[in-house]
Amino acid sequence: MSENTTPVWVDFGTPDFEGSAGFFAQLFGWTYERNADFGGYGNFSRGSSLVAGGMEVAPDQGIPPCWTIYFRADDIAAATEKAKAAGATVFCEPMPVGDLGFMAVIADPTGAVFGLWQPGSHKGFVRANEPGNPVWFELSTRDKTAGVAFYSDLFGWSARPYESEGPDYTVFATPETGEFAGSIDASSFLPEGVPNHWLVYFGVTDTDAAVEKAQSLGGTVLAPAFDTPNGRIAVLADPKGIAFGVVSVS
């Protein structure tokens, strides 16, 4: 297994690429280009650095609009088999994406969907705690014990309880990257019908201003802004229902 099994890429699926792309580009100051060789897949950049991707998904494919987080796997075939053995469901077996790398899409035993990425020429985003970048990744699940055990075993992440007044929370870390993700017990607040899922948080300079701008662009507020020891956060959705978080970064 790779020494670095942390997130290396995020992308969204949407029934309206230009609509969702325009929303995120305006909100985060991104630019984007579409690649005709890969079905019009879009790559989003902040300055000269790639930060995310996006693609149009036909409504009849049955895939809800969402962000997918991809974790690095230097041996994607072995990681996929290990996930299967631990009770995961594989939606997309490892497949090449040109010379860019190999991808797989998997649901953990609690139903939360994530991706694996074995880099080729596409190494993913550069992790930076800056506005417009993916800065935190959170597993919202009704069975946190099973979720934490699955990812700790699959990727070798360490997991520690996070003391707070809110729902039970666990923080994931690796020796190479430090703390980078968490898992929250969502059994008390996740609406019926909403599956367990991973949520990506993007850095912003001012959370309240980002919320206001998202609303002006047609987005909705799923969780109003509130303060945490690690920054002021909010959970939003684009006009097509793609959920994501924002968190203030210095």
Closest CA to 11 of 96, 111, 134: 134
pLDDT tens sequence across 155-172: 999 999 998 777 899 999
Is the pLDDT at 58 greater than 90? The verdict is: no
Report the distance separating Cα 129 and Cα 141, nearest Å: 25
DSSP 8-state symbol, 83: H
Which of 134, 80, 144, 125 has its CA nearest to residue 107?
80
CA–CA separation, 203 and 134 (whole Å): 6
Q: What DSSP character marks residue 192? A: T
Q: Which amino acid is at 192?
A: E
pLDDT tens per residue, range 7-18: 999 999 999 999
C-alpha pair distances (Å), 124 with each of 54, 82, 191: 13, 23, 32
Interacting residues of 53 by C-beta distance below 8 A, sequence separation 6+: 9, 10, 11, 12, 41, 42, 43, 44
Task: Please state the rounded mean pLDDT for residues 87-96.
Answer: 98
Confidence of residue 62 (pLDDT cuts 50, 70, 90): confident
For residues 221-245, give the mean pLDDT. Answer: 97
> Is residue 98 packed enough to be buried (19+ CB in 10 Å), middle (13-18) or exposed (0-12)?
exposed
pLDDT grade for 3, boundaries at 50, 70 and 90 = low
Domains, the chain, in order of start with CATH, read: 9-119 (3.10.180.10), 133-248 (3.10.180.10)
State the first-to-last Cα distance of the chain, in angstroms, to the nearest integer.
Answer: 33
Rounded to 5°, the CA angle 212-70-66 comes to 40
pLDDT of residue 20: 98
Which of 25-34, 59-68, 160-169 has the highest mean predicted lDDT (pLDDT)? 25-34
User: What are the phi and psi torsion angles at 38 (to 5°)?
Assistant: -125, 50
Nearest-CA neighbor of 10 among 132, 114, 148?
Answer: 114
**Per-residue pLDDT at 2:** 39
pLDDT of residue 152: 98
Average of per-residue pLDDT across 19-23:
98
* Averaged pLDDT score across all residues of the chain: 95
Measured CA to CA, the distance from residue 114 to residue 156 in angstroms comes to 16
- SS (HEC) of 117-150: EEECCCCCCCCCCCECCEEEEEEEECCHHHHHHH
Cα–Cα distance between 242 and 250 in angstroms, integer?
Answer: 26
Share of the chain above pLDDT 90, in %: 86
User: Would you place residue 1 in the very low, low, confident or very high pLDDT band (cuts 50, 70, 90)?
Assistant: very low
Residue 128 has pLDDT above 90, yes or no: no
Q: pLDDT at position 63, please?
A: 82
- Please give the single-letter amino acid code of residue 105: V
